[in-house]
Amino acid sequence: MPPAAHCNLTTTPMAVIPRSVPLPDRTAPKEAYVMQTSNRSGGFFLIGGKSKTCFAVFLKLAGGSDAKIVVIPHASSVPSEAAADVVEQFALLGARNVTVLEPPTLFRARVASFLWKLGARWLSRFVSDTVIPSGTDAVYISGGDQDQLVEKLGAGGIATLRAFSRAGGLVSGTSAGAACMGNYMITGGMSDGAIRAGSLRTGRGLGLTGRILFDTHMKRNRFNRPIVALATLDMDAAFGLDEDTGVHITNGTASVHGVGKVWYYRRGADFGVDFSAGSAHGVNVEVLTAGGVIAI
């Protein structure tokens, strides 16, 4: 295996724009993100945390050792360390082209947010801009705090990711980097697993997977969280992902990879949650392991 030194690592700053602003459909031309390889798969590869075997799956889906990969460590409280760990793992697998996007400081984030709210978007981008290099095949979003991730990406960064995805790029994330993908995301709560009114904390996500929600680290007593999310949020379905277990979503199908399980939740005809009783009924749940494929 090639040593980590063979990995071409660069860093580039990324935009910060307030998530409270309505998200535009596009802020960059699709042509800026045309892929340059024919081996990448596109779609989404989302992991439930603590990636090990799923790193190799991601690299294969991205197009192999020559794939151009961008790492977004914004969710981490120690982004440089998180990025270095991801880069090392990719290098050990033979990845040769990895770029790390440097997250903005809170000060720059707040200044950019203020300018965006004033309508000075060009100036906001001057303060902190989003750059996904042309020819990038895949984006990998590391774990941490999904609220922080969404805030530091901002509307401009989210729009850039959407344009990249629409152009055929693979978007991957682990832990917080997976939990943020839908229109809404779970941010915490229900640590004891009990169904109670107001016990689940949620927020606005990146909106890349639309009305499909994701929860991670399922063995942390989180099996009821997607059920409560479907009862309280305008979402159509939810995935629960074990650690080092990923789901590849592309062309209307979801395929499972890794060592654990994936739970797929949907509302049944008589779906409902009784918060006073702490119960739920009419929930359709499919449990899949590596090799499982479902239509979504």
Domain annotation covers residue 96: yes
Number of residues written out for the chain = 296
- Express each pLDDT in 163-207 by its tens digit: 999 999 999 999 999 999 999 999 999 999 999 999 999 999 999
pTM equals 0.85
Higher pLDDT, 108 or 48: 48
Beta strands at 212-215 and 200-204: parallel, antiparallel or unpaired: unpaired
36 close to 133: Cβ distance less than 8 angstroms: no
Q: Cα(175)–Cα(291) distance, rounded to whole angstroms? A: 21
pLDDT at 16 over 50: no
Tell me the residue type at 75: A
Domain annotation covers residue 188: yes
- Express each pLDDT in 156-165 by its tens digit: 788 889 999 9
Rg of the chain in Å (alpha carbons): 19
Task: At 148, list the tokens.
Answer: 């922080």
Domain annotation covers residue 53: yes
Predicted confidence at residue 34, as pLDDT, reads 36
Measure the CA dihedral 75/81/83/86, to 10°: -110
Q: Cα(290)–Cα(222) distance, rounded to whole angstroms? A: 20
Average pLDDT over residues 97-124: 81
Domain annotation covers residue 186: yes
Q: Cα(262)–Cα(288) distance, rounded to whole angstroms? A: 5
C-alpha of 154 from chain center: 14
Buried b (16+ CB within 10 A) or exposed e, 104-121: beeebbebbbebbeeeeb
State how many domains the chain has. 1
Predicted confidence at residue 5, as pLDDT, reads 37
Predicted confidence at residue 39, as pLDDT, reads 53
Residue 140: which of 168, 108, 111, 98 has the closest Cα? Answer: 98
Domain annotation covers residue 280: yes
Predicted confidence at residue 271, as pLDDT, reads 97
C-alpha of 108 from chain center: 23
The CATH number linked to 102 is 3.40.50.880
Provide the pLDDT confidence category of residue 29 given band limits of 50, 70 and 90: very low
49 close to 214: Cβ distance less than 8 angstroms: no
Domain annotation covers residue 294: no
39 contact partners, CB below 8 Å, separation of at least 6: 63, 64, 67
For residue 9, the enclosing domain spans 4-289
Domain annotation covers residue 296: no
